[in-house]
Amino acid sequence: MTDKTLVSYEPASGEELWRGLHGDVDAAVSVARRGWPAWAARSIGDRIAVLRAFSNEVRRESEPLAELIAREAGKPLWEARSEVDAVVNKVDISVQAYAERTGKKKFDSGINGSAAVRHKPHGVMVVLGPYNFPAHLPGGHIIPALIAGNAVLFKPSEKTPAVGEALVACFHRAGVPEDVVQLVIGGPDEGKALVAHPGVDGVLFTGSANAGIAINRKLAANPGKIVALEMGGNNPIVVIDTPKLADAATLIVQSAFTTAGQRCTAARRLIVKDSVFDDLMAELLPLTRKLMVGDPLGEPQPFMGPVIDNDTADRLSESFLALMTGGGRALLHMRRTVPDLPFLTPGIIDVTDIPDRPDIELFGPVLQVIRVPDLDAGITEANNTRFGLSASLIGGTPDDYGRFWANIRAGIINWNGPTNGASSKAPFGGIGLSGNHRPAAYYAADYCAYPVASTEMDQPRATIGVGLKP
Ligand code: UN1
């Protein structure tokens, strides 16, 4: 242990919530290296039973855990509860994914006996978690990694260490050995040391594109190290002709402002066909004004809580102002409701007239609107980004959606659904700056184990048929 202390604060009150010492990366890695062979040698049935016990443990702890998530991440309790449910459900989904994606296959190889494909764990995996889903998204890496037989070093976001600690405690109480899942508290220094450590076999990351690229760069000379990057997006929601504009407005609000916009899959850009613009705004603006922003534990429950901290709120406000100075027209101003606390009301800004719109992820409740003449222009505009995580089309015909699906570059493409709330039963990831083609969720199994191909006979049996002297 070092003597550096990490402190986390409740976004809604600014009060200290948790403090703890930074972890010792070298020590944690050597404990994990000693621990993983025994875990890997246990039968798959045995490991699954332990993970099911974890799922029960989380279910038992669901209320205190949801409350802790609400306090530390600032998301409303109703939403924190659904995060806990997602953690519970992750186990069954990952068990099934393990079997389907990385299970055993045997086939007859004729004269060569039988052939088999089996999977082995990589060894020691580092999981670097985000603050927006401080339990569910790390769980989405940790659970499949453990099922596959890896040891895990989990460094939660420095903004949500308390939830990280609570999650790891559930693994331990369920029977995952202490040397197989370890909590490593720390900030960027510990993160970098974990990534670069020669005793680490893989890095499973969820967070910003900048941090993900830094990981890639650091590991450029280590092609054997598994790197799974789930990064951000500048996600488009495209609205064309539909008789159901009230529903369209609801989908936009859910996409842009759930979790105060702090989802990698949140809609950042609303791309609207000119002919529906006025009628859509007549639904969207009043609905957005009605959204309650407030205390995550308050009653009645708000739609959204604060963003994660004051720095983030300051940066978002500055970005909103910069868009306005650059030629954007505020349709709904983003306001700071309590001085010195990071509560922001949702902001909507028409940026159609900004010539060079910045292609960055504004990770908060800011929705940029771009007007276009038709669907083709909408598709071009939607693809006008280096990111490619999620995209939705609202309205249109099956043919329109066919064209949208075929031409949009993203890992999640929806029709008449929100950009966020992706199912854990599907692969989850994006292209471009959104990821590195190692999708998580259902396909997390793929990066948690590597395939081994074998041909096998119980006795040596071989002949040389051609080219032997008599
Ligand atoms: C989101 O779309 O808001 O299980 C996050 C997972 C994904 C996470 C989705 N369903 O990893």
Residue 462 domain flag: no
Residue 321 domain flag: yes
Q: Over the stretch 26-70, which tens digit does the pLDDT of each residue have?
A: 999 999 999 999 999 999 999 999 999 999 999 999 999 999 999
CA of 317 to the centre of ligand 1 (A): 27
What is the pLDDT at residue 433? 98
Same domain, 13 and 91: yes
Find the helix or strand (DSSP H, E) in which 183 lies: strand 181-183
| Residue with CA at minimum distance from ligand 1 atom 8 | 422
**pLDDT for 427 beyond 90:** yes
Query: Using 50, 70 and 90 to split pLDDT, how confident is the model at 280?
Result: very high
Q: pTM of the predicted model, to two decimals?
A: 0.97
| Residue with CA at minimum distance from ligand 1 atom 4 | 424
Same domain, 239 and 221: no
Same domain, 367 and 288: yes
Q: Is the CB of residue 14 below 6 angstroms from any atom belonging to ligand 1?
A: no
Task: Provide the 3-class DSSP secondary structure of residue 126.
Answer: strand
CA distance 313 to 340: 10
**pLDDT for 277 beyond 50:** yes
Tokens of 293: 């922003």
Residue 467 domain flag: no
Residue 312 domain flag: yes
Q: Is the CB of residue 421 below 6 angstroms from any atom belonging to ligand 1?
A: yes
Same domain, 241 and 207: no
Using only C-alpha atoms, what is the Rg of the chain?
24
Tokens of 429: 């990831």
CA of 51 to the centre of ligand 1 (A): 20
What is the pLDDT at residue 111? 74
Same domain, 161 and 267: no
**Which of ligand 1's atoms lies nearest the C-alpha of 133?**
5
What is the pLDDT at residue 2? 53
CATH number for 241? 3.40.309.10
What is the pLDDT at residue 1? 46
**CA 271 to centroid of chain Cα atoms:** 24
Residue 70 domain flag: yes
CA distances from 163 to 63, 123, 439 (A): 13, 25, 24
Q: Over the stretch 100-114, which tens digit does the pLDDT of each residue have?
A: 999 899 988 777 789
Residue 156 domain flag: yes
- Mean of pLDDT values over 137-161: 98
**Which of ligand 1's atoms lies nearest the C-alpha of 140?**
11
Helices (H), 18-110: 25-41, 44-60, 62-73, 77-102
| Residue with CA at minimum distance from ligand 1 atom 1 | 421
Q: Which residues are catalytic?
A: 230
CA of 143 to the centre of ligand 1 (A): 15
CATH number for 172? 3.40.605.10
Pocket test for ligand 1, best of 205, 265, 304, 413 (most atoms within 8 A of CB): 265
Please give the DSSP secondary-structure letter assigned to residue 158.
Answer: T
**pLDDT for 194 beyond 80:** yes
Q: What range defines the domain where residue 153 resides?
A: 5-231+435-455
Q: Is the CB of residue 440 below 6 angstroms from any atom belonging to ligand 1?
A: yes
Q: How much is the mean pLDDT over the chain?
A: 97
Cβ neighbors of 87 (< 8 A, separation 6 or more) are 55, 58, 135, 136, 139, 167
What is the pLDDT at residue 413? 98
Query: Using 50, 70 and 90 to split pLDDT, how confident is the model at 209?
Result: very high
Q: Over the stretch 61-105, which tens digit does the pLDDT of each residue have?
A: 999 999 999 999 999 999 999 999 999 999 999 999 999 999 899
If you write DSSP's letter for every residue of 337-351 in order, what string do you get? SSTTS--B--EEEE-
| CA torsion angle 304 72 132 54 (round to 10) | -120
**Which of ligand 1's atoms lies nearest the C-alpha of 266?**
3
Same domain, 36 and 174: yes
Same domain, 192 and 278: no
CA of 423 to the centre of ligand 1 (A): 6
Same domain, 193 and 329: no
Same domain, 28 and 117: yes
Same domain, 142 and 278: no
Residue 174 domain flag: yes
Q: Give how many domains the chain has, as a whole number.
A: 2
Same domain, 187 and 171: yes
Residues in the chain: 470
Same domain, 241 and 255: yes
Give the whole-number percent of the chain exceeding pLDDT 70: 100
